[in-house]
C-alpha cells in the first residue's frame, strides 16, 4: 500500500538525542510505514552557535542503529538559507512582513490579530488568541531564519502532510499556521504527542538519570527493546500485549490510539521489555550480538553469555552479575558468607565434597550434579546443604545461575581452586 502521507523527524543537532526525541522519530516512522507513506529526516541546524556536527552525526548513526530508516537524503536547513530569504522577501513585497531596521537583515512577520483554531489529530480542537502574539521574527539579523519560519517553509516544500511532534511545540503551532496562511499555503495536520514524565511527575530530564539514547545503547539495550518500550509510551493497541516486534508495531500503529495524557517513563518496565527481546532472538543471534557488544567472541565467553541468558535484562547486567566468571578474584558478599559459610559443620562437608570433585575427571553439569548429590546422600543431608555453600564458595554470592551449569562453565581448575581456598580461609572470609 502506498499513499501520499509524508512525515518528518526534525531534530536540532544541539545535543545528544534523548529518549523523547527517539519516541517522536519512532511515532513518525511507524505512522509513515503503517500508511505506506514517506518518512524524512531533517536537520534543523540553523542555530549555528548550538548546532554541532558531532550531534548531527550521532543522530544519523542512532537512527541507523535503531533501524528507523528514512526516505531520501537527509535535509539540512543550513543549505536552504537562500530559499528562506526568498520567501521572506515575498512576504515583505506583499506587506505581510517588514525589515526590523536598516542596519541588519532581520525580518518580522506582521502577526494577524485573530484567533487561530486548529484540530490536533491527537488532542482535538485547540484555540489560540493570536491577538496576544507579538510580530514574529522570521529572519534574524545575520540573515538566518528562525525555527518557526524555516519549519513552515520546509514543511511546505517537503509536502509534509502530518507534523507529529512533542507537546512542547503546541504553542509554536498557531504561529506556524499563521505563516502558512500568509503565504497562501495549506498547513499540514498536526499531532502533538503527550509529554514524557519521570517517576516524580515532572517532565523527563537529566535529573531522572540517563535519558540520552547513547546511554541506553552503552548500557546494552537492544534497539528493538528500546523501540518496543518507547512505542508504549503514549500509545497502545488495546489489550494486554506488551511485546512487539518492529513489524508488529508498524502493522498496529495508529495515531487514533495515541493517548492525550502524559506518559510516565518507567525504567523497570523498559528493562523488562528489553529482557523479553533478549529471550526472543535465536540462540545464534543472541550469542553473536552479545559477543559484538563485549568485543569478545571466545567460546568461553559464549558459554557465560548462555548461562546468564535467562537472568539478564541488558548486556551490562552480565558485566555486573557475572564478575566471578569474568574475573579470577571472588568478592564475597558478607551476608552470603554469614548465612552459608560460617558453620564449622559446613567446613567438614566442603572438605568431603572437594575430595569427591577432585576425583571427578569429567566436569559436566550432569556429572557434577550426581557427585554433589551422592556426597549429600553419604553425609545424610539434603543436597541444598551442599549446593548453597558451594555456590557461595565459587561465586561469593547466594544467588547465581544453576549451580551445576555454572560449575561446568567455570571449569575444573577454578572450581577446585576456589573451594580449596575457601576451606583454607574458612572463618576469615567475611572480610575478603
Q: Which residues bind ligand GLU (CB under 6 A)?
A: 10-12, 44, 151, 163, 165, 169
Cα distances (angstroms) measured from residue 177 to each of 83, 90, 153, 189: 19, 17, 11, 10
Nearest to 125 by CA among 196, 173, 175: 173
**56 vs 304, which CB is nearer to ligand GLU?**
56
**120 vs 248, which CB is nearer to ligand GLU?**
120
**16 vs 165, which CB is nearer to ligand GLU?**
165
Q: How far is the CB of 154 from ligand GLU (least distance, A)?
A: 9
Residue 342 sits at the vertex; the CA angle it makes with 337 and 347, to the nearest 5 degrees, is 115
Q: How far is the CB of 13 from ligand GLU (least distance, A)?
A: 9
Q: Are 248 and 191 in contact (CB under 8 A)?
A: no
**24 vs 314, which CB is nearer to ligand GLU?**
24
Cα distances (angstroms) measured from residue 115 to each of 131, 177, 293: 7, 11, 54
Nearest to 31 by CA among 19, 23, 20, 42: 23
Nearest to 226 by CA among 12, 45, 29: 29
Query: Sign of the C-alpha dihedral, residues 75, 76, 82, 85?
Result: positive
Q: How far is the CB of 414 from ligand GLU (least distance, A)?
A: 52
- Pairing assessment for the beta strands 196-197 and 136-139 based on DSSP bridges: unpaired
Instruction: Mention every residue, 6+ apart, whose C-beta is less than 8 A from residue 193.
Output: 23, 24, 27, 122, 164, 165, 166, 167, 234, 258
Q: Are 265 and 198 in contact (CB under 8 A)?
A: yes
Q: How far is the CB of 364 from ligand GLU (least distance, A)?
A: 56
**47 vs 242, which CB is nearer to ligand GLU?**
47
Q: How far is the CB of 255 from ligand GLU (least distance, A)?
A: 15
Nearest to 111 by CA among 149, 80, 73, 144: 149
Burial classification of residue 399, based on how many CB atoms lie within 10 Å of its CB (0-12 exposed, 13-18 middle, 19 or more buried): exposed
Q: Are 22 and 230 in contact (CB under 8 A)?
A: yes
Q: How far apart are CA 30 and CA 98, in angstroms?
A: 41
Q: How far is the CB of 106 from ligand GLU (least distance, A)?
A: 21
**152 vs 372, which CB is nearer to ligand GLU?**
152
**163 vs 230, which CB is nearer to ligand GLU?**
163
Q: How far is the CB of 50 from ligand GLU (least distance, A)?
A: 11
**234 vs 290, which CB is nearer to ligand GLU?**
234
Q: How far apart are CA 302 and CA 290, in angstroms?
A: 8
Coil, helix or strand at residue 95: coil
Beta bridge partners of 122: none
Beta bridge partners of 116: 128
**44 vs 405, which CB is nearer to ligand GLU?**
44
**151 vs 376, which CB is nearer to ligand GLU?**
151
Residue 394 sits at the vertex; the CA angle it makes with 388 and 397, to the nearest 5 degrees, is 60
Q: How far is the CB of 43 from ligand GLU (least distance, A)?
A: 9
**169 vs 349, which CB is nearer to ligand GLU?**
169
Q: Which three cell numbers stand for residue 398?
A: 547466594
Q: How far is the CB of 28 from ligand GLU (least distance, A)?
A: 9
Grid-cell match 539514547, residue found: 213
Q: How far is the CB of 209 from ligand GLU (least distance, A)?
A: 22
Q: How far is the CB of 163 from ligand GLU (least distance, A)?
A: 6
Amino acid at each position: 500500500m502506498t499513499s501520499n502521507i509524508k512525515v518528518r523527524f526534525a531534530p536540532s543537532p544541539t545535543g545528544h538525542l534523548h529518549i523523547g526525541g527517539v519516541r517522536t522519530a519512532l511515532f513518525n516512522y511507524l505512522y509513515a510505514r503503517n500508511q505506506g507513506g514517506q518518512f524524512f529526516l531533517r536537520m534543523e541546524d540553523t542555530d549555528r552557535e548550538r548546532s554541532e556536527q558531532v550531534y548531527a552525526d550521532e543522530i544519523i548513526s542512532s537512527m541507523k542503529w535503531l533501524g528507523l530508516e528514512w526516505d531520501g537524503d537527509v535535509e539540512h536547513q543550513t543549505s536552504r538559507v537562500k530559499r528562506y530569504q526568498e520567501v521572506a522577501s515575498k512576504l515583505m513585497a506583499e506587506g505581510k512582513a517588514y525589515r526590523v531596521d536598516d542596519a541588519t537583515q532581520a525580518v518580522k512577520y506582521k502577526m494577524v490579530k485573530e484567533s487561530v483554531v486548529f484540530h490536533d489529530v491527537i488532542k482535538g480542537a485547540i484555540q489560540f488568541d493570536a491577538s496576544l502574539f507579538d510580530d514574529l521574527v522570521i529572519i534574524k539579523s545575520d540573515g538566518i531564519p528562525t525555527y518557526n519560519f524555516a519549519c513552515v517553509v520546509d514543511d511546505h516544500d517537503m509536502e509534509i502532510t502530518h507534523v507529529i511532534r512533542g507537546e512542547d511545540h503546541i504553542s509554536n503551532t498557531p504561529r506556524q499556521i499563521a505563516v502558512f496562511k500568509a503565504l497562501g499555503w495549506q498547513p499540514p495536520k498536526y499531532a502533538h504527542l503527550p509529554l514524557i514524565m519521570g517517576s516524580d511527575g515532572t517532565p523527563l530530564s537529566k535529573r531522572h538519570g540517563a535519558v540520552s539514547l547513547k546511554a541506553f545503547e552503552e548500557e546494552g539495550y537492544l534497539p528493538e527493546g528500546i523501540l518496543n518500550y518507547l512505542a508504549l509510551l503514549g500509545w497502545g493497541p488495546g489489550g494486554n500485549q506488551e511485546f512487539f516486534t518492529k513489524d508488529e508495531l508498524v502493522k498496529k500503529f495508529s495515531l487514533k490510539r495515541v493517548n492525550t495524557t502524559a506518559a510516565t517513563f518507567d525504567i523497570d518496565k523498559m528493562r523488562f521489555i528489553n529482557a523479553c527481546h533478549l529471550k526472543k532472538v535465536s540462540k545464534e543471534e543472541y550469542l553473536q550480538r552479545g559477543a559484538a557488544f563485549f568485543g569478545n567472541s571466545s567460546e568461553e565467553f559464549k558459554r557465560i553469555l548462555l548461562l546468564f541468558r535467562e537472568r539478564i535484562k541488558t548486556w551490562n547486567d552480565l558485566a555486573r552479575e557475572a564478575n566471578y566468571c569474568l574475573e579470577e578474584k571472588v568478592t564475597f558478599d558478607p551476608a552470603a558468607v554469614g548465612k552459608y559459610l560460617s558453620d564449622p559443620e559446613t567446613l567438614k562437608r566442603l572438605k568431603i565434597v572437594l575430595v569427591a570433585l577432585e576425583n571427578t575427571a569429567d566436569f559436566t553439569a550432569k556429572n557434577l550434579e550426581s557427585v554433589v548429590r551422592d556426597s549429600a546422600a553419604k553425609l545424610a543431608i539434603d543436597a541444598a546443604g551442599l549446593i548453597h555453600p558451594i555456590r557461595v564458595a565459587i561465586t561469593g554470592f547466594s544467588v547465581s545461575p544453576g549451580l551445576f551449569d555454572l560449575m561446568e562453565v567455570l571449569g575444573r581448575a577454578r572450581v577446585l581452586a576456589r573451594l580449596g581456598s575457601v576451606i583454607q580461609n574458612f572463618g576469615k572470609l567475611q572480610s575478603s
